[in-house]
């Protein structure tokens, strides 16, 4: 089964310490996309950027090695990989002897590509060679707007509107107030979101109310970002749109989905809370 309730989430788990690709649990994207009216061809391009900070294995002499890994899962892949299963899978390398980093990268790419259903790119760096650049998402914060809020879920797209009588503009808006919940465990997922667009000016107060309305909503990171993208497109009709969310890590993993009408991919720059 590939539905969230059949995943390892929220269940007692024995942590493996040897390589086991069967631990990866894929979940089809399409069922949630059906809810927001998304079908092929996809109305967006993008990627889910995963960063793994708890990756270790053994060299052929039994000495532990550690690394920081970056994974790019394309938005067009038919599946997401459930995050706890991903963590369990990565933990399985802890006592696994491997000839070199290239051998580890090959296994990771092979298994994750099989689980996601599309080619997943993998980069591994040693901790001291990894780039730990902290930077806020670029753009103008809307968090200081003096708005009264009394709705925290489900997401309310009716809050979104644009001034279609005004001239088109290009701007980038950001908020650090994004929060949603795991659909299986109910644990909160905290994040920051960047919305870059060109088109009729979007009402900022309405946008902030809309983003806060995810606060008690149960959905995976990737699904939240796609919902935001589709809702903004439907309600505000921008000519161009990109939505990028940076979530805080759990279990040594952070997930950072990006959806856009453009082909350009974002930088993987860590936010202050990551």
* Residues acting as catalytic residues: 182, 189
**3-class DSSP assignment, residue 10:** coil
Q: Which helix (H) or strand (E) holds 191?
A: strand 188-199
Which residues, in sequence order, are CB contacts of 18 under 8 Å at separation 6+? 92, 95, 96
Binding site annotation covers 205? Answer: no
d(CA 38, CA 34): 6
Count the Cβ atoms, other than its own, within 10 Å of residue 77.
Answer: 20
Structure tokens that stand for 157 in this block:
């797209």
250 is in an annotated binding site: yes
Has 40 been labeled as part of a binding site? no
Nearest to 274 by CA among 179, 134, 173, 167: 134
C-alpha to C-alpha distances, 155 to 14, 122, 217, 228, 245, nearest whole angstrom = 36, 33, 7, 9, 16
> How many of the other CB atoms lie within 10 Å of CB of 134?
10
H/E stretch holding 64 reads strand 64-74
CB–CB of 200/160 below 8 Å? no
251 is in an annotated binding site: yes
* 225 assigned to a ligand binding site: no
- 82 assigned to a ligand binding site: yes
249 is in an annotated binding site: no
Residue 87 is assigned to a ligand binding site: no
Annotated binding-site ranges: 81-84, 221-222, 250-251
Annotated binding-site ranges for NADPH: 83-84, 250-251
Annotated binding-site ranges for substrate: 81-83, 221-222
């Amino acid at each position: 089964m590939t539905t969230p309730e059949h995943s390892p989430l929220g269940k007692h788990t024995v942590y493996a310490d040897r390589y086991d690709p069967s631990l990866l649990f894929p979940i089809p994207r399409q069922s949630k996309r059906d809810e927001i009216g998304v079908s092929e061809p996809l109305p967006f391009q993008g990627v889910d950027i995963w960063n793994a900070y708890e990756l270790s294995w053994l060299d052929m002499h039994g000495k532990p090695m550690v690394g920081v890994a970056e994974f790019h899962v394309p938005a067009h892949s038919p599946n997401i990989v459930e995050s706890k299963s991903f963590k369990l899978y990565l933990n399985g390398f802890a006592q696994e002897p491997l000839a070199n980093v290239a051998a580890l990268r090959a296994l990771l790419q092979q298994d994750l590509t099989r689980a996601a259903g599309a080619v997943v790119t993998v980069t591994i760096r040693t901790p001291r060679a990894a780039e730990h650049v902290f930077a806020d998402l670029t753009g103008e914060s809307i968090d200081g707007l003096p708005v009264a809020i009394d709705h925290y879920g489900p997401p309310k797209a009716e809050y979104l509107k644009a001034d279609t009588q005004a001239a088109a503009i290009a701007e980038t808006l950001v908020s650090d107030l994004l929060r949603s919940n795991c659909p299986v465990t109910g644990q909160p997922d905290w994040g920051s979101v960047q919305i870059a667009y060109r088109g009729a000016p979007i009402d900022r107060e309405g946008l902030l109310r809309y983003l806060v309305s995810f606060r008690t909503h149960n959905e995976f990171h990737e699904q939240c970002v796609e919902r935001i993208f589709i809702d903004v497109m439907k309600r505000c009709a921008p000519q161009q749109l990109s939505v990028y969310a940076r979530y805080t890590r759990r279990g040594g993993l952070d997930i950072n989905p990006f959806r856009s009408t453009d082909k350009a991919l974002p930088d993987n720059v860590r936010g202050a809370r990551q």
